[in-house]
Amino acid sequence: MALNILNPGLSTSIQDLGRPGYFHLGIPIGGAMDRFAMRVANMLVGNAEDAAGLEAVFMGPEITFTEDTLIAITGAELPVMLDGVEQNTWTAIAVKKGQTLSFGFLQSGARIYIAVSGGIDTPEALGSRSTYPIGALGGVEGRNVAAGDVLPLGKSGPGKTGATVAPAHRRMPGNPAVLRMVKGLYWHRLTDASGEQFLNDEWKVAPEADRMGYRFRGGKPLEFVDREQPFGAGSDPSNIVDGCYSYGSIQVPGGTEPIVLHRDAVSGGGYFTLGAIISADMDYIGQLQPHTPVKFKAVSMEDALAARKERHQLLDQIRGSLA
Amino acid sequence: MKTRYTFGGDEHIYIEMDEEMSLDAFFKSLSMSNAVREAKIDGVTEICPANASFQVKFNPDVVHPDDLLEQVKALEAVAEKAEKRMNTRIIEIPVYYQDPWTHETLMRFRERHQDPSGTDLEYAARINGFDSVEDFITAHHSQPWFVSMVGFVAGLPFLYQLVEREKQLEVPKYLRPRTDTPKLTVGYGGCFSCIYSVRGAGGYQMFGITPMPIYDPEQEVTYLKDFMVLFRPGDIVKWRPIDRAEYDAICQQVEDGTFMPKMAEVEFDLDAFNKDMTGTNARLMEALNGA
């Protein structure tokens, strides 16, 4: 049983829930940017939630199947077609041997997740099939999928055709998007007025937005508290002695364009960070298209933990409804 | 040195030993990160040591961030008492300074640099008060370096030179990071040298390139068969300048599977080093040359 990739789309990669444990060597956790959508796609076809599927950016791939199977598409909205006949998203779809899966134009969101019964069964690298092209790990020999690739599948589970997720449970960011953050790390480097300005400004997703990080433009340049730069940091006020970066941390090189580090984050570096996006909102970033307006909202740790719990509860509800 | 504790979102605690870089801050950070690892606290998932700081990643479903913070803080006293000594290795890394590949790249990103009219080495030599690029290159490779962090991308070492504070070289990072850096570029930012293990984005000034791979996910390179990453914190490095002919020759040896880096087991004691830098470095070089 296998998937044949006829056309990979713009950028399609094999992802699961990542490879924790190697960030101290500069190898990031990786895995689906929108883990909520990846988990739900797997649930719909009866897979373990950490099974490997496909993450496709802005454009869907074209795929044929060597056997009858079950698939589900979640995340960004775009028309899903089987042999040209439109299908429902966030729903388990029965596929016949030899049928072709294709997609129309993107309507909302940025990344679609394709789960196939049994999960993609390419070799693991450091415990995960997630593609990390910079380090040539996982995926198809360390790279994204390409036309002509044949992706092996694991053994099918118990999925049911037609299983679906209620529209209210399809978790996607708003437009404008609000990304909640906890102030911290090097927030104290900013003047009070500049910190406030950062939170009040409307930012827009820049074209340089990928799995490593999302860049934002449009707000006012940041102002730093005057200081003599510490030894080893470098002379720009946005420089620090190179330290670890948190997933979701917001760095602002030169004080101009914020970059939020995502699943394929660099593990450290010499730019100051002013806090980090809360874990519950990390999925949303993977669904932001370039030019989407965004506001950063500072919340307390307790609010961050409550949001995390809310996301867990929603996943539990979906698990319950599909059981 | 004053320790600062802060949260990175709801899944990370960041502990900064000192705002400025020093080997004392490095050793304290390494000791404390080891103490946190050994404490095996429920909910802690990853510990990443850095130059003068470290980060603890945790699962807030298992441990409340404030409770974990208290437990981590309690381990600072352990770190203060820890020995500043380690058994490690010294490794010789050949460097082809002023190579054509980093030169092409730095010219391509000139508008992101502090000084668009020169090269990265010309700029670094000038702002550090050297009369020539050659003198600056000599200062870069004449004394050994200490790996104070591994990270950024897969297996990239940050290196701190084993010399007095007044002899440390310092340069800013690019004004805006480049989107491309050749694989195995020897870079410089702040007071740190680095080796870019893979091709990709980067903000450090570019000085040269090594023919010696330091990361190999295929694990085919002779000395990377056991693990894909060469460096670990505490390794000591000595740069050795090479020319184009030797660069090509080493590339061929790596390809043929015959290249083995020169290295030796050594002990590094911070107090002994602080008392006598020249003597300590001489002993390190003796060990390397005897390898």
Burial B208-240 (b: 16+ CB within 10 A, else e): bbbbbbbbbbeeebebbeeebbbbbbbbbbbbe
Q: How far apart are CA B6 and CA A280, in angstroms?
A: 19
Q: Which of A27, A129, A189, A246 to mutate to test the interface with B (most CBs of B within 10 A)?
A: A246
Contact in structure between A52 and A71 (CB atoms under 8 Å)? no
* CATH number of the domain to which A29 belongs: 2.60.120
Domain count of the fold of chain B: 2
User: Model's pTM, two decimal places?
Assistant: 0.94
Q: What is the mean pLDDT of residues A243-251?
A: 97
Q: How far apart are CA B290 and CA B274, in angstroms?
A: 24
Q: What is the mean pLDDT of residues B76-96?
A: 93
Look over chain A and give the mean of its residue pLDDT values, rounded to a whole number: 97
B172: pLDDT strictly greater than 90: no
B114, burial (CB in 10 Å: exposed 0-12, middle 13-18, buried 19+): middle
Q: Is B191 on the interface with A (CB under 8 A)?
A: yes
% residues pLDDT > 70 (chain A): 100
pLDDT at res. B33:
95
pLDDT at res. A43:
97
User: Does residue B38 sit in the same domain as residue B166?
Assistant: no
User: Does residue A184 sit in the same domain as residue A129?
Assistant: no
Chain B residue numbers touching A281 (CB-CB < 8 A): none
Answer with the one of A169, A188, A219 that is the final residue of a domain: A169
Q: How far apart are CA A286 and CA A281, in angstroms?
A: 10
Answer with the one of B58, B82, B106 that is the final residue of a domain: B82
The domain containing residue A278 runs over which residues? 177-311
Answer with the one of B51, B82, B113 that is the final residue of a domain: B82
User: Does residue A109 sit in the same domain as residue A248?
Assistant: no
User: Does residue A15 sit in the same domain as residue A160?
Assistant: yes
User: Does residue B52 sit in the same domain as residue B193?
Assistant: no
Record: contact B12-A276, CB cut-off 8 A: yes
User: Does residue B110 sit in the same domain as residue B28?
Assistant: no
Say if A317 falls within a structural domain.
Answer: no
Phi and psi dihedrals of A57, rounded to 5? -100, 125
A114: pLDDT strictly greater than 90: yes
B120-127 helix and B133-142 helix, angle to the nearest 10 degrees:
80
A304: pLDDT strictly greater than 90: yes
Answer with the one of B60, B82, B104 that is the final residue of a domain: B82
The domain containing residue B49 runs over which residues? 4-82
Phi and psi dihedrals of B73, rounded to 5? -60, -40
Sheet holding A108-116, edge to edge: A12-15, A53-57, A108-116, A69-77, A92-95
User: Does residue A26 sit in the same domain as residue A59?
Assistant: yes
Per residue in B188-219, pLDDT tens?
A: 998 999 999 999 989 899 999 999 999 999 99
Say if A319 falls within a structural domain.
Answer: no
Q: Which of B1, B3, B10 to mutate to test the interface with A (most CBs of A within 10 A)?
A: B10
Split at pLDDT 50, 70, 90, the class of B173 is confident
Q: Which of B23, B145, B153, B228 to mutate to test the interface with A (most CBs of A within 10 A)?
A: B153
Contact in structure between B8 and A276 (CB atoms under 8 Å)? yes
Answer with the one of A136, A169, A202 that is the final residue of a domain: A169
User: Does residue B43 sit in the same domain as residue B115?
Assistant: no
Give B65→chain A minimum CA distance, Å. Answer: 8
Split at pLDDT 50, 70, 90, the class of A202 is very high
Record: contact A301-B65, CB cut-off 8 A: yes
A323: pLDDT strictly greater than 90: no
pLDDT at res. A172:
97
Q: Which of A17, A22, A25 to mutate to test the interface with B (most CBs of B within 10 A)?
A: A25
Q: How far apart are CA B186 and CA B197, in angstroms?
A: 9
Record: contact A234-B22, CB cut-off 8 A: no
User: Does residue A130 sit in the same domain as residue A161?
Assistant: yes
Q: Is B165 on the interface with A (CB under 8 A)?
A: yes
pLDDT at res. A235:
82
Task: State how beta strands A177-183 and A293-298 pair.
Answer: parallel
Record: contact B151-A304, CB cut-off 8 A: no
User: Does residue B23 sit in the same domain as residue B140?
Assistant: no
Say if A145 falls within a structural domain.
Answer: yes
pLDDT at res. A262:
98
Chain B residue numbers touching A304 (CB-CB < 8 A): 9-10
Give B154→chain A minimum CA distance, Å. Answer: 4
Contact in structure between B192 and B23 (CB atoms under 8 Å)? no
Nearest CB to B11 within list A241, A268, A279: A279
Instruction: Give B 8-37 residues with CB within 8 A of chain A.
Output: 8-12, 14, 16, 18-22
Q: CB contacts < 8 Å between A and B, how many? A: 205
User: Does residue A128 sit in the same domain as residue A208?
Assistant: no
Nearest CB to A142 within list B61, B151, B217: B217
Nearest CB to B46 within list A21, A137, A312: A21
* CATH number of the domain to which B166 belongs: 2.40.100.10
Q: Is B251 on the interface with A (CB under 8 A)?
A: no
**DSSP element (H, E) containing B157:** strand B157-161
Say if A76 falls within a structural domain.
Answer: yes
B123: pLDDT strictly greater than 90: yes
Per residue in A210-222, pLDDT tens?
A: 999 999 999 999 9
DSSP state of B40: T
* CATH number of the domain to which A197 belongs: 2.40.100.10
pLDDT at res. B184:
98
User: Does residue A156 sit in the same domain as residue A259?
Assistant: no
Give A300→chain B minimum CA distance, Å. Answer: 10
* CATH number of the domain to which B10 belongs: 3.30.1360.40
User: Does residue B124 sit in the same domain as residue B267?
Assistant: yes
User: Does residue B144 sit in the same domain as residue B261?
Assistant: yes
Split at pLDDT 50, 70, 90, the class of B176 is confident
Domain count of the fold of chain A: 2
Q: How far apart are CA A175 and CA A76, in angstroms?
A: 13
